[in-house]
Structure 1
Amino acid sequence: MIRLTLPYPVSANVYWRSFVPRGASRAVTTLSAEAKAYRAEVQRIAMTAGVRPIDGRLHMHIELYPQRPQDWARRAARAPMTWDDDVRCIDLSNARKVLEDALQGIAYGNDSRIWGESGERMEPDG
């Protein structure tokens, strides 16, 4: 089992960059600068942890911790059970795709090896 604590993922909306090269008639899609920086950081963390690519079927579980807002104490006092429902957070499917792409070639050869997935949005991190 591989267990990593990774930085909050960039949004899939900024992960890819599409443009039409000069003189071309079709758009080209590449990784954005933010995506390249995120992948490099994920790779650094995984390599430091001694991660080697898994060969075979795997299951990916994600625990997504949004950033705790500055007014979290006031929100929690007002609604203790639901204070974090409207905390700004990317959705799990968005985070999953970014993480799968960032870990490809590091924790596994190809994300087609992922046979099971699970995830949950956690209480915002302090």
Structure 2
Amino acid sequence: MQEYSIMIPGDAVPQGRPRVVRIGGRTIAYDPPKSKTYKARVRQYAARNAPKEPLEGKVMLEVRIYRSVPKSWSKKKHEAAYAGLIWPTTKPDVSNIVKGIEDALNGIWYKDDSQIVHEYSMKQYAREPGVIVKMWGGNEDEQSGSVQRESDSLQ
């Protein structure tokens, strides 16, 4: 199984709702500018540590989102957040950030994000904002069809 990882510094950007316009009777949907820019940045970092060809078969993804502590908080509250005693329960949602990252990795780390069979994601406060993304996949035995499913071995 192959493993790939990246660290994207800075604040994570959630996947925005697609914008829709009508041009000449056709409806066209496109990414909002912030989402489009962030996806391009994710692709840039992912391309530095990518397989020669996008992986086929199942992939597993881990996304760790690190957010800045609000500047208005007291020093005591800052330290509690860095210690993991306070978690960011405000927007943006983890799922919206992860969706943009999944889409950005299409065609670079894997052929399509539908290949993701297992995913772990979280957000927490940190001194430096950023996102760490890890992917595992490319099990050759699975691609040849000779992998036994875990549920089969439990019977």
Q: TM-score, normalised by structure 2?
A: 0.64
Between Structure 1 and Structure 2, how many residues are aligned? Answer: 121
Q: Which is bigger in relative contact order (C-alpha 8 A, separation at least 6)? A: 2
> What amino acid is the match of 1:39?
K
CA distance in 1, matches of 2:8, 2:80: 31
Name the structure 1 match of 2:124: 122
> What amino acid is the match of 2:57?
G
CA distance in 2, matches of 1:47, 1:81: 32
Cα offsets for 1:50-91 (capped at 9, x unmatched)? x122222011111111122223524246887644445x4411
Q: Which runs of 5+ in 2 are unaligned?
A: 129-155
Q: 1 or 2, which has the higher strand percentage?
A: 2
Larger Rg: 2
Residue 34 of structure 1, CA deviation = 2.1
Name the structure 2 match of 1:106: 108
Name the structure 2 match of 1:60: 61
Q: TM-score, normalised by structure 1?
A: 0.76
> What amino acid is the match of 1:16?
P
Cα offsets for 1:10-43 (capped at 9, x unmatched)? 222x35222233x42x642112222222222112
Q: Which runs of 5+ in 1 are unaligned?
A: none
Asked if the contact 1:15/1:34 (under 8 Å) is kept, the reply is: no
CA distance in 2, matches of 1:36, 1:81: 31
Asked if the contact 2:14/2:35 (under 8 Å) is kept, the reply is: no
Name the structure 2 match of 1:30: 30
CA distance in 1, matches of 2:80, 2:36: 40
Q: What SS does the corresponding residue of 2:67 show, helix, strand or coil?
A: coil
> What amino acid is the match of 1:111?
D
CA distance in 2, matches of 1:40, 1:72: 35
Residue 9 of structure 1, CA deviation = 3.1
Cα offsets for 1:74-126 (capped at 9, x unmatched)? 4246887644445x441111112111111111111101110111112222343
Q: Structure 1 residues 103 and 74, CA, compared in 2 at 3 Å: closer, same or farther? A: same
Q: What SS does the corresponding residue of 1:56 show, helix, strand or coil?
A: coil
Q: CA RMSD in A?
A: 2.7
CA distance in 2, matches of 1:48, 1:98: 19
